[in-house]
Amino acid sequence: MALIRIVKRQEPLGWGSCFVFLAALSLSLLLGGVILLIGGTPPWEGITTLFRGAFGSRYALEDALIKGTPIFLCSLGVAVAFRLQVWNIGAEGQYALGAVGATWVALSLPEAPAWVMLPAMVAVACLAGGLWGFVPAYLRQRMRTNEIIVTLMLNYVAILFLDYLVYGVWKDPASFGFPMTAVFAEAAVVGRIGASNFSWGLVHCLLLGLIVWIFMRFTRLGFEIKAGGDNVRAARYAGIPYDRLVMLVMVLSGALAGWAGFLETSSTVNRLQPSIMAGYGYTAIVVAWLARLNPLAIGVAAFLLAGLRVGVEGLQLDLQVPAAFGAMIEGLILLTVLAGGFFTRYRFILSRRTP
Amino acid sequence: MTFELLVPLLAAAVQSGTPILYATLGEIFTERSGILNLGVEGIMIIGAFAGFLVAKLTGNPFLAFIAAGLAGTVAASLHGVVCLFFQGNQVVSGLALTILGVGFANYLGLAYVGQAAPGFDPLPIPVLAEIPLLGPIFFQQDLLVYVTYLLPLVLWWVLYRTRFGLSLRAAGEYPAAATAAGVNVMVCRFVGVLVGGFLIGLGGAYLSLAYTHLWTNNLTGGRGWIAVALVIFAFWRPSRAVFGAYLFGGVMALQLRLQATGTQIPSSLLLMLPYALTVVVLVLASWRRRGSDEPAALGQNLEPID
């Protein structure tokens, strides 16, 4: 009688895991096609439109890079926290507060020159985002509260706070009733690189990505974070200050998301308005997980998922597919990749049981 | 606050607490089996949409209610398959399910935004509805609210008084010992996820069928997450879930009333109330966990190797 047994792999799968990843992606696209069909859109046309819209033109690629910026920064922070097994689901709120902090500086120092303004905006944005990460970390370590739920609830609080400001005290009188602040002064805008469409924000991303990669790979703290994430008890036993590490990664995580909020207001929309809350913080979680928390891979995954968002916009214009289709595909991709992980850790062997 | 204002407020608290109660009870049942399902928000909104759609197509709210539960079961089964068969991380899988569910409901629901569907209307219970105070608060509600008066008892009975309940709790508490005692932990956990998903789906249906009677984008608005927090507040016990749900229902009802009376407080700050309260309640519940029935193996996967 032939029996299938499940055995743990002793060696990493190597290139095979790339195959598993691609298979999972294809499966989620296939399911996406089925759902397009349910919604009344021809699936093949839908998928090709999605790809063409995402990566088929220079404009689309540029747009993906621009949208990828905040996703990348949020994801970078989220991934550092996940490394320590700290579940920061709050990038969305930390990003919102970062945007609020940067706007506060821009609105309250209208006369400042750029060399004062921009560093001050970055600092306050990181401080605000970091604080929004510190609160759940503190509650987790002191009160043993669940950081998943606290960070999530703080997302709602932060977004509503942003709403309160742009619908109320910060509303531009000249905005015809729209909820938005006044346009930032020239000095508060991160400019474009030369004559290109890209802002210097892209350079921020590259540098921060590099710094986080070096931090995680070559510094003592980075090593401690990885060790703490692998085994909390062993890490404590080895004298690693786990409690302080939790606070550190959450503040770091929040500060990076805050930086993303700064870039979005300063370089993309040049003012604060509710539409900056596009769910980048949640996409960042998907990205971090797809990239297996590796800072370099996060860059690629952030670009791909930003491309998906751009593609869905095309789908919306050409075939009237609702924008929520993008979020749905993100969820599907994450689920299938998660399930696919099984095949990289275990293998099946056929064994014959002799009677 | 005068009496004439307080009684309607408490009645509204019970009503707006009911969807959260369904979801909290469902999540308690799931977590007792050892599976952490963070997909509640997604399952709830899928239930809400399925309920709305079936009510609109068939005109039969009862059928719609059951369909919502079944849709919740199907959605939850995704989490069950990923975590139980494929050993996926339970936290991430639940988050993925929420992202998927909210996207799915908003995707299919866009064509129906603002449309109404038949649902459940208040149905006072004879005699009981006449009791002063208690009558207007508890017994002039709709049928789905009355179901939740019995549901915690049923769940308590299943969990603590049946053989299956014992196995389910053992699967969540100490799966290795449960397996040694001949319990099929996989089956118990899968049933926990499916039954929980059914109840969470019903909670979503309450929103579209009884609370609003119509479909809007993001109908659940974070109620699923509040339910996840309430499981901790409830110490994983069905009885305590009732108090938590009504407390949150009360805050939501109060916030709506304050908005309607046109206070000076901006609406964004009022809307913050339930979320801020969740954090406060969570801190209070987590600070001293003595007496909590948190399953010891919650969130831990089983090794698939025999």
* Interface predicted TM-score of the whole assembly (ipTM), two decimals: 0.93
Which residue range is the domain that position A295 belongs to?
A: 70-310
Count the domains in chain A: 1
Q: Are B137 and B11 in contact (CB under 8 A)?
A: yes
Evaluate if residue A353 carries a pLDDT over 70.
no
% residues pLDDT > 90 (chain A): 67
User: Does A43 reside within a domain?
Assistant: no
> Which of the residues B231, B236, B272, B280 would you substitute to probe the A interface, choosing the one with the greatest number of A C-beta atoms within 10 Å?
B272
User: Does A20 reside within a domain?
Assistant: no
In chain B, residues with a C-beta closer than 8 Å to the C-beta of A157 are 272, 275-276, 279
The token pair at B167 is 């196995």
What is the pLDDT of chain A when averaged over all its residues?
91
User: Does B266 reside within a domain?
Assistant: yes
* Rounded distance between C-alpha atoms, residue B110 and residue A324, angstroms: 9
- Reported as a pLDDT band with limits 50, 70 and 90, residue A343 is confident
Subunit contact B286:A144, Cβ cutoff 8 A? yes
Count the domains in chain B: 1
Per residue in B100-112, pLDDT (tens digit) is: 999 999 999 999 9
Q: Are A75 and A89 in contact (CB under 8 A)?
A: no
In chain A, residues with a C-beta closer than 8 Å to the C-beta of B81 are 339
- Reported as a pLDDT band with limits 50, 70 and 90, residue A185 is confident
The token pair at B246 is 């009504």
Least confident of A139-143, A342-346, B262-266: B262-266
B129 to chain A, closest Cα gap in Å:
37
Candidate from A89, A143, A330 with C-beta closest to B286: A143
Subunit contact B107:A35, Cβ cutoff 8 A? yes
User: Does A187 reside within a domain?
Assistant: yes
Q: What is the pLDDT of residue A2?
A: 60
* Rounded distance between C-alpha atoms, residue A37 and residue A31, angstroms: 10
A112 to chain B, closest Cα gap in Å:
31
- Reported as a pLDDT band with limits 50, 70 and 90, residue A300 is very high
Crossing angle for the helix pair B238-260 and B267-287, to the nearest 10 degrees: 160
User: Does A248 reside within a domain?
Assistant: yes
Q: Are A332 and B101 in contact (CB under 8 A)?
A: no
Q: What is the pLDDT of residue B71?
A: 98
Picking from B11, B154, B150, B143, the residue whose alpha carbon sits closest to that of residue B64 is B143
What residue in A sits closest to B83 (Cα-Cα)?
Answer: A339
User: Does B297 reside within a domain?
Assistant: no
Provide the b/e sequence for B277-290 (b: ≥16 CB within 10 Å). Answer: bbbebbeebbeeee
Picking from A106, A300, A93, the residue whose alpha carbon sits closest to that of residue A205 is A300
> Which of the residues B31, B255, B275, B284 would you substitute to probe the A interface, choosing the one with the greatest number of A C-beta atoms within 10 Å?
B275
User: Does B304 reside within a domain?
Assistant: no
What residue in A sits closest to B272 (Cα-Cα)?
Answer: A157
Q: Are B49 and B75 in contact (CB under 8 A)?
A: no
User: Does B153 reside within a domain?
Assistant: yes
Per residue in B137-195, pLDDT (tens digit) is: 899 999 999 999 999 999 999 999 999 999 999 999 999 999 999 999 999 999 999 99
User: Does A57 reside within a domain?
Assistant: no
Side-chain half-sphere CA neighbours of B21 within 13 A: 30
- What mean pLDDT is predicted for residues A319-341? 93
Per residue in A61-119, pLDDT (tens digit) is: 999 999 999 999 999 999 999 999 999 999 999 999 999 999 999 999 988 898 999 99
Candidate from A8, A335, A339 with C-beta closest to B100: A335
Q: What is the pLDDT of residue A100?
A: 97
Q: Are A79 and A269 in contact (CB under 8 A)?
A: no
The token pair at B215 is 């479909």
Q: What is the pLDDT of residue B306?
A: 56
In chain A, residues with a C-beta closer than 8 Å to the C-beta of B278 are 149, 153
Q: Are A257 and A95 in contact (CB under 8 A)?
A: yes
Evaluate if residue A189 carries a pLDDT over 80.
yes
Total CB pairs under 8 A between chain A and B:
154
Q: What is the pLDDT of residue A1?
A: 52
Which residue range is the domain that position B25 belongs to?
A: 2-291
Domain holding B103: CATH number? 1.10.3470
User: Does A78 reside within a domain?
Assistant: yes
User: Does A44 reside within a domain?
Assistant: no
SS (H, E, C) chain A: CEEEEEEECCCCCCHHHHHHHHHHHHHHHHHHHHHHHHCCCCHHHHHHHHHHHHHCCHHHHHHHHHHHHHHHHHHHHHHHHHHCCCCCCCHHHHHHHHHHHHHHHHHHCCCCCHHHHHHHHHHHHHHHHHHHHHHHHHHHHHHCCCHHHHHHHHHHHHHHHHHHHHHCCCCCCCCCCCCCCCCCCHHHCCCECCCCCCECHHHHHHHHHHHHHHHHHHCHHHHHHHHHHHCHHHHHHCCCCHHHHHHHHHHHHHHHHHHHHHHHHHHHHCCCCHHHCCCHHHHHHHHHHHCCCCHHHHHHHHHHHHHHHHHHHHHHHHHCCCCHHHHHHHHHHHHHHHHHHHHHHEEEEEEECCC
